[in-house]
Amino acid sequence: MNIINFKGKIRRILQLLFTLVCFGDLKLLFYLLRVGELGKLTSFIESNFLYRCARDGYGNGSIVEIGSFKGRTTICLALGSKLKGREKIYAVDPLIDPQIRQQFTENIKKAKVDDYVIPLFKKSEEAISDFTAPTRLLFIDGCHEYEEVKKDILLWKKHLIEGGIIAMHDYLPENYPNFLAGVNKAVNECIINSDEFIVEGCIDSILFASKKRSKNKHLFEHANKINKLRAYLKSKMDKTLLRY
């Protein structure tokens, strides 16, 4: 084993230990660890945040997810909401690839949340044409092109209740890969520089904001504490033998 691979394994072990301490729901964590086909496009810390928002978020209204892929975040949202007997999740994603669509369907069944997920196998602009439900939580992780991200925000924000949460995945204001430039630009224009939203913070690569009123102080304080601690520990790790 070369030194880079060794250091990578040590990093992953330390990240897992950190997650175990901060996650809050070990049953969900171990489920995500066990079900490998869900992929790892969303971190454990982000998954926990979405789970908490679905479980404890302010207000009454549906939960809408734009971009589901194989169902990792869909399951986190559904498990959180189902635990408290709250609203169902609208999972919006055309999932044109039949194999991916089948995996998504199988995954939500394995997680026993198929009764809590309403799949909308359509493009965002098609799904909203007959959508009327007020929404308390909107998670956007669809196409990452600027025009598509902007469209998703503008189309769906009208259904978000006052005090509701909008969460944007893959927002990295510093040192972001080029393919995320569109996400950053759209979020800056439509959320950060908008009087309609109150930016509450970031956790990993999720930026979260409230519509007009801040009503989720406990959720946001917890997320921001975790994010600061994670950044601090990472900076310490980078100054040790783990640096490469």
Q: Which of 171, 220, 148, 163 is nearest to 196 (CA)?
A: 163
| CATH for the stretch 3-238 | 3.40.50.150
Taking only the tens of pLDDT, the chain with its 244 residues reads 566 577 667 766 776 677 777 766 767 777 776 665 555 567 888 888 999 999 999 999 999 999 999 999 999 999 999 999 999 999 999 999 999 999 999 999 998 999 999 999 999 999 999 999 999 999 999 999 999 999 999 999 999 999 999 999 999 877 666 778 999 999 999 999 999 999 999 998 999 999 999 999 999 999 998 888 888 877 776 666 444 4
Helix 72-83 to helix 44-56 angle, to the nearest 10 degrees? 30
pLDDT value of residue 228: 87
For residues 187 and 168, give the distance between their C-alpha atoms in angstroms, rounded to a whole number: 8
Parallel, antiparallel or unpaired: strands 197-203 and 206-211: antiparallel
pLDDT value of residue 243: 47
For residues 208 and 198, give the distance between their C-alpha atoms in angstroms, rounded to a whole number: 9
Q: Which of 66, 68, 62 is nearest to 155 (CA)?
A: 66
Report the Cα 216 to chain-centroid distance in Å: 16
Six-digit token string for 149 = 């991200």
What is the three-class DSSP state of 194? coil
Q: What size, in residues, is the chain?
A: 244
pLDDT value of residue 4: 59
Six-digit token string for 8 = 């990578």
